[in-house]
Amino acid sequence: MQRSEERMSIKSTVISQIHQIAAEDEKKLPPLADDLVLLDSGLDSLAVAILVARLEETLGLDPFTESDEVSYPVTLGDFVNFYEKAARSREGDSRHPH
């Protein structure tokens, strides 16, 4: 998969899951742009935890436990990039076994 296709795949999965969680909680979402601050998305901390769990199930990644980074993504774009970086890192690890 090429990087732009990977980005669209991860991004579309993240956005799809956000819409699904918001619908289940009957929450109205603002437009989901890359610069949207996650705290302003309408999702509370439980909804974000559910999102991370569903993304781990769907994408097979949990960058929050796999990453050495201690910073938390602030915007939706940061959140998507965090997942993309984890996917690339895992891809690199599978090409170069230790």
User: Can you give the CATH number for the domain in which 77 is found?
Assistant: 1.10.1200
Number of domains in the chain: 1
For helices 76-95 and 3-24, give the axis angle rounded to 10 degrees. Answer: 130
Average pLDDT over residues 31-58: 94
Average pLDDT over all residues of the chain? 86
Q: Is residue 11 part of a domain?
A: yes
Q: Is residue 98 part of a domain?
A: no
Within-domain flag for 96:
no
Compare 76 and 5 and report the one with higher pLDDT: 76
- Specify if 65 maps to a domain: yes
- The confidence score (pLDDT) of residue 84 equals 92
Whether 97 maps to a domain, the answer reads: no
Is 57 part of a structural domain of the chain? yes
What residues make up the domain containing 12?
3-89
Longest dimension (CA), the chain: 47
Please write down the HEC assignment for all residues of 39-86. Answer: HHCCCCHHHHHHHHHHHHHHHCCCHHHHCCCCCCCCEHHHHHHHHHHH
Residue type for 68, please?
A: D
